[in-house]
Structure 1
């Protein structure tokens, strides 16, 4: 594929990270995976999107987001968490609160993730019409 977009998936749960990565690969993205430990782990070249799991949003210490913004200051970010409320109307407020472009509450549908990604990187998501 000529213009493959590159996504960084930061998720400490191995199974969830694998599922997210597979979802993006199946949709035609290149994927980098990280458990989110440190900046040197992220110095792997340019990325087009970051999907970051927020383990404890109640603590309001979005360290992983800050970590990505340090290395990739202008990359769009989708924050995901099992701690977010599931109401759709809360997502824009959460995105603003965390300084990210989108927020998704786990569990979310594959289509919702790919649509959010496509909107942020300017491409059409495979399998969504």
Structure 2
């Protein structure tokens, strides 16, 4: 895109980020994140949510947490992406921590949040909890 003079925007970047997450290369994902920041889309909600999902898919939840904590605006999608990221990485303690943090910050968990949390506990072998 860039070679042809077409710059990604708040609609194009999420698609590129999702493709990078599917490819799974850490280096490629970090390069795209750098482009996001350089082009001024670091505070774009949709772009940030895709970055959270990308880092979750490649197992870099510490980077996802840093990004999440710097987000000026968070929606249910942001929170659910974090809970789901921890669930996908078999970290049910941090999935529950994020769930609790969501409630403590005044946002009501929705059905996606609950499903992600339950999935986390099931993946970790804690069906009884």
The alignment's TM-score, normalised by the length of structure 1, stands at 0.31
Higher relative contact order (CA 8 A, sep 6+): 1
Which is strand-richer, 1 or 2? 1
The alignment's TM-score, normalised by the length of structure 2, stands at 0.31
Which is helix-richer, 1 or 2? 2
* Structure of larger gyration radius: 2
